[in-house]
Amino acid sequence: MTAIVLASTSPYRRMLLEKILPDFICAAPRVDESAQPGESAPALVERLAIAKAKALRDEYSKHLLIGSDQVAVVGDAILGKPHTEENAIAQLQAASGKTVTFYTGLAVYDSAHDRVQSCVEPFQVTFRQLTDAEICGYVALEQPLNCAGSFKSEGLGISLFARMQGDDPNSLIGLPLIRLLAMLREWQVNPLLVKDQA
C-alpha cells in the first residue's frame, strides 16, 4: 500500500484517519498560518491545506501527504483556534443563536510526481441560544482551546447545537473523510481492498 503521511500533529485528525487507514505517519508541517490581505475563508483553508502537505515533501519524497486546515466563520468574522479560555468563551458567545459555517481545506499531495488534489468542505452548525453559565461550564469541562470555533462536536459540544447541516460530520472534527477517501481512490488507495493489495 502507498506510504501515507498526515501533515498534522492534531490528535483529532489522527484519530479520524485511524478509522480508515491502518498505517500512516504523522509529521508536523512548518507553515505560517496567517491569512493574506483580502483572503476569503475558503481560499485560506485550501491554501494552508496544500502548504501543509507540501511542507514535508523533502522529508517524504515518495509519499502521499495529507494536509488539512479549518476555520469557522460567524458573519464576516473568521474564527480560528481560541488558545485561551477567555477567547473560547467570547467565540461561543458570538456564535450563540447563530449559524456558523466551518470551512475545512483538504489536500492530498503526491510528492513523487508533484501532483496535488484539493478541496474545501463546508459544514454549517446552528447554535442554540446559550446562557453564559452554559458557555463557561462547557469551556471548563472540555477545554476546547485548540479547536476552531471553541467546541468538540465529538464530545459534549453537541449539546451546544440546535442543528447541523453538511455532507460529512467528520469535517467538523478537522478531516472530511468522505472527500479524503474519494481523493485517495484516485491513487488506488482503498482501505476496502487492502487485503487484495497485500
The residues annotated with a catalytic role in the active site are 69
CA distance 117 to 108: 5
Residue 69 Cα distances to 14, 41, 73, 93, angstroms? 13, 10, 14, 23
Closest CA to 80 of 96, 99, 104, 97: 104
* DSSP calls for 47-63: HHHHHHHHTTTTTSTTS
